Amino acid sequence: MKKRYRAEWAAVAQQDLKQIIDHIAMDSPGNALTIFQEIREKAANLHLFPDRGRVVPELQDQGIHLYRELIITPWRIIYRISDTAVFVLSIINSRRNVEDILLDRLLR
């Protein structure tokens, strides 16, 4: 039987998602709802298959292998797997300088 994990959202990841959806909703409320559902569904499914995401390349280059990501273009869902849970840590627009954002957030 496949191990199941709890999916938990960090406050910063919740804030990231809110900002993304608020920004999209200014132009297209319907599209904002679709993207919200897509991101939440993809993150929620991590409880069954947390290893499906790749190691974050920018962090891997720094020798950090704890963090994984799922891509929903142009956003990257950054998460970490523990023994019993998957922690969604950030949702970052990949058009920004992802390495600086991640290093600042994850290594504080």
Give the pLDDT of residue 23.
95
Mean pLDDT calculated for residue range 90-95? 88
Percent of the chain with pLDDT over 90: 67
The domain spans of the chain are 6-106
CATH architecture for segment(s) 6-106: 2-Layer Sandwich (3.30)
Give the pLDDT of residue 93.
87
Query: What's the N-to-C CA distance of the chain in angstroms?
Result: 37
* pTM across the whole model: 0.86
What strands, in cross-sheet order, belong to the sheet with 54-55? 6-9, 85-93, 75-81, 67-72, 54-55
Mean pLDDT calculated for residue range 31-37? 95
Question: What is the rounded CA–CA span in Å between residue 78 and residue 71?
Answer: 9
Alpha helices per DSSP H over 1-108: 11-27, 29-44, 57-60, 98-106
Least confident of 17-26, 64-73, 78-87, 92-101: 92-101
Assess whether pLDDT exceeds 90 at residue 1. no
Question: Chain-wide mean pLDDT for the chain?
Answer: 89
